[in-house]
Amino acid sequence: MFKIGDFSKLTQVSVRMLRYYDELGLLKPSRVDRFTGYRFYSAAQIPRLNRIVALRDMGFLAAEIAMIMEENTNGAQLIGYLEGKKLEINSTIAFENNKLERIEKTIKSIETESVFMNYEISVKSVPSYKVASVRERIPVYAMEGILWEKLGKLASEYGIKCMPPCFAIYHDGEYKESNVDVEVVMCVDELQKSRNDITFREIEAVPLMASILVTGKYENITNGYNTLANWIEENGYEVTGLARQITHKGPWNESNPDNYLTEVQIPVTK
């Protein structure tokens, strides 16, 4: 038998943690002196303590460790617990890496803040358009390309002759983090009968459309929206409709993302 201090030295586990494991019922002393209250531990308890410490260092919570130890898990069960913890840790790593990416983007945006001051903003009238479109809910805005690919394939399949401009309309009327309602459209010479997978319609003209041209990577578009919002308010306009987004230069016609050119349009009234 070893006093708690000696057991602590031999196992490289602090007295504080040994007492904590005792309180949780994870590792009770082999014997407690009823007169002095001293805790005594046995060498036979070392394997159990080592497993507790190993599970703790792998990120298992005390309650999880207690459950694993109480179940007297076999090798296969323990592997199951470890695989579950592995998935949890990988998910945490991915989440934290996403945070790091956002930090890096913020740093770059601060470093190049002067670039964002050179946006070209105008107010113009936009005519009505005859269009072929695909409208669906997608998980996030970044997956808009799926809709463009689908529209392009349908246009080719049905022999639809398209012409510019091609643009996306965001029907939610607000920014959404998921389940986004997006319509992608291509202008056409004449309307055809709509089918289950593609719609033909005429989009009304917009008398006043606030427009901003954003150069560079798609990450810059958020700053473009912010700049346009400030401009609309400062110039006494009010938003009256859904935002549109036209990619004049994108992956299909420009190899360098720094040269992308995106136009954000928002209907307004004075």
Each residue of 178-198: pLDDT tens digit?
A: 999 999 999 999 999 999 899
Q: Hey, what CATH topology would domain 2-72 get? A: Multidrug-efflux Transporter Regulator; Chain: A; Domain 2 (1.10.1660)
Q: How confident is the model over 90-106, as pLDDT tens digits?
A: 988 988 998 898 888 77
Q: Residue 111: what pLDDT?
A: 61
Are the folds of 2-72 and 118-269 the same?
A: no
CATH number of 118-269: 3.20.80.10
Phi first, then psi: what are they for 206, rounded to 5°? Answer: -120, 115
Taking the C-alpha atoms of residue 192 and residue 169, their distance in angstroms, rounded to an integer, is 20
* Cα–Cα distance list, 6 to 10, 18, 40, 227 (Å): 6, 12, 9, 67
What mean pLDDT is predicted for residues 198-206? Answer: 96
Query: pLDDT band for position 62 (50/70/90)?
Result: confident
- Show me where the domains of the chain are located: 2-72, 78-111, 118-269
- For residue 145, give the amino acid letter: G
Contact yes or no for 210/123 (Cβ under 8 A): yes
Q: Residue 116: what pLDDT?
A: 46
Q: Residue 115: what pLDDT?
A: 46
Taking the C-alpha atoms of residue 245 and residue 165, their distance in angstroms, rounded to an integer, is 10
Q: How confident is the model over 226-244, as pLDDT tens digits?
A: 889 989 999 999 999 999 9
Q: How confident is the model over 65-78, as pLDDT tens digits?
A: 888 887 666 777 88
